[in-house]
Amino acid sequence: MSTAAVGLLAGMALGFAGYFGGFWAFLLVLVLGVVGLIVGRLLEGDLSVDSLLHPRSGERRR
């Protein structure tokens, strides 16, 4: 299992641990899952912090 998948599962597990009901629990699981996925991708090297902060750095500006 890749590090990104582990990060995603960890974020979702934290969301389910904090689950107390309804729509807000859904949002909590979604947000923590995305955070876990991003952290996993950063640790795996598939994503760089620089690309998150400057997404258009490769494009020429007009």
SS3 content of the chain, % helix, strand, coil (to 5): 70, 0, 30
pTM greater than 0.85: no
- Say if residue 58's pLDDT is above 70: no
Per-residue pLDDT tens digits for 1-30: 787 888 888 777 777 777 766 677 777 777
Q: Label residues 5-42 b or e (16+ Cβ within 10 Å = b).
A: eebbebbbebbeeeeeeeeeeeebbeebbebbbbbbbb
